[in-house]
Chains A and B, each alone.
Chain A
Amino acid sequence: MHLIWNLEYESMSRPRLAELQLKRLREVVDRVYARVPYYRQKMEEAGIKPEDIRSLDDLAHLPFTTKEDLRENYPFGLFAVPMEEVVRIHASSGTTGKMTVVGYTRNDIKIWAQVMARTLACAGGTANDRIQVAYGYGLFTGGLGVHYGAEMMGATVIPISGGNTKRQIQIMKDFATTILACTPSYALYLAEGAAEEGIDPKELPLRAGIFGAEPWSENMRKEIEEKLGITAIDIYGLSEVIGPGVASECLEQNGLHVFEDHFLVEVVDPETGKPLPPGEKGEVVFTTLTKEAFPVIRYRTRDISILYPEPCACGRTMTRMHRILGRTDDMLIIRGVNVFPSQIENALLEIGETEPHYMLVVDRQQQLDELEVWVEVSEELFSDEVRKMEHLENRIRQKIESTLGIGVRVKLVEPKTIPRSEGKAKRVVDRRDIYGS
Chain B
Amino acid sequence: MVKLKQISVFLENKSGRLSELSKVLGEHNINIRALSIADTEDFGILRLIVNDPEKAWKVLKERGFTVSETRIIAVEIPDAPGGLASVLEILEAHAINIEYIYAFVGQREGNAVVVFRVEDIDNAVKILQEKGFHLLDGDEIY
* Residue ranges of A at the interface with B (Cβ–Cβ < 8 Å): 377-379, 382-386, 389-390, 411-417
Tell me the smallest distance from the CB of A425 to a CB of chain B, in Å.
15
Task: With A382-B67, A390-B40 given, name 8 new contacts (CB 8 A).
Answer: A382-B10, A383-B68, A385-B100, A386-B39, A386-B40, A389-B40, A389-B45, A414-B66
Smallest CB gap from A387: residue in B? B99
Tell me the B29-61 residues at the A interface (CB within 8 Å).
38-40, 42-43, 45, 47
- The answer, among A385, A412, A415, for a CB contact under 8 Å with B99, is A385
Contact check, B45 vs A378: say whether CB atoms are below 8 A apart.
no
Smallest CB gap from B72: residue in A? A384
What residues on B are CB-neighbors of A389 within 8 Å? 10, 40, 43, 45
* Ranked 9 nearest A-B pairs via Cβ: A384-B8, A386-B38, A416-B64, A382-B66, A377-B10, A414-B12, A377-B66, A411-B42, A384-B45
What residues on B are CB-neighbors of A417 within 8 Å? 12
What residues on A are CB-neighbors of B117 within 8 Å? 384-385
Contact check, A378 vs B66: say whether CB atoms are below 8 A apart.
yes
* Residue ranges of B at the interface with A (Cβ–Cβ < 8 Å): 6, 8, 10-12, 17, 38-40, 42-43, 45, 47, 64-68, 70, 99-100, 117
Smallest CB gap from B38: residue in A? A386
- Contact residues of B: prevailing secondary structure: strand
Contact check, A412 vs B42: say whether CB atoms are below 8 A apart.
yes
Contact check, A384 vs B66: say whether CB atoms are below 8 A apart.
no
Contact check, B64 vs A384: say whether CB atoms are below 8 A apart.
no
Contact check, A413 vs B38: say whether CB atoms are below 8 A apart.
no
What residues on A are CB-neighbors of B12 within 8 Å? 412-414, 417
A416 to B66, CA, bound (A): 10
Smallest CB gap from A388: residue in B? B99
What residues on A are CB-neighbors of B10 within 8 Å? 377, 382, 389, 412, 414
What residues on A are CB-neighbors of B67 within 8 Å? 379, 382
Contact check, B42 vs A386: say whether CB atoms are below 8 A apart.
no
What residues on B are CB-neighbors of A384 within 8 Å? 6, 8, 45, 47, 68, 70, 117
What residues on B are CB-neighbors of A383 within 8 Å? 68
A378 to B43, CA, bound (A): 14
Smallest CB gap from B61: residue in A? A379
What residues on B are CB-neighbors of A379 within 8 Å? 66-68
Would A415 and B64 be within 8 Å (CB), given that A384-B70, A390-B40 are in contact?
Answer: yes
What residues on B are CB-neighbors of A416 within 8 Å? 64
What residues on A are CB-neighbors of B38 within 8 Å? 386
Output the residue of B45, B64, B117 with the most chain A CB within 10 A: B45
What residues on A are CB-neighbors of B40 within 8 Å? 386, 389-390
Q: What are 19 A-B pairs at a CB distance below 8 A?
A: A377-B43, A379-B67, A379-B68, A382-B66, A382-B67, A382-B68, A384-B6, A384-B45, A384-B47, A385-B99, A385-B100, A386-B39, A386-B40, A389-B10, A389-B45, A414-B10, A414-B12, A414-B17, A414-B66
Smallest CB gap from A386: residue in B? B38
Tell me the smallest distance from the CB of A367 to a CB of chain B, in Å.
24
Tell me the smallest distance from the CB of B122 to a CB of chain A, in Å.
19
A389 to B100, CA, bound (A): 14
A412 to B11, CA, bound (A): 9
Tell me the smallest distance from the CB of B6 to a CB of chain A, in Å.
8
What residues on A are CB-neighbors of B43 within 8 Å? 377, 389, 412-413
What residues on A are CB-neighbors of B39 within 8 Å? 386
Tell me the smallest distance from the CB of A144 to a CB of chain B, in Å.
40
A413 to B64, CA, bound (A): 12
A220 to B43, CA, bound (A): 36
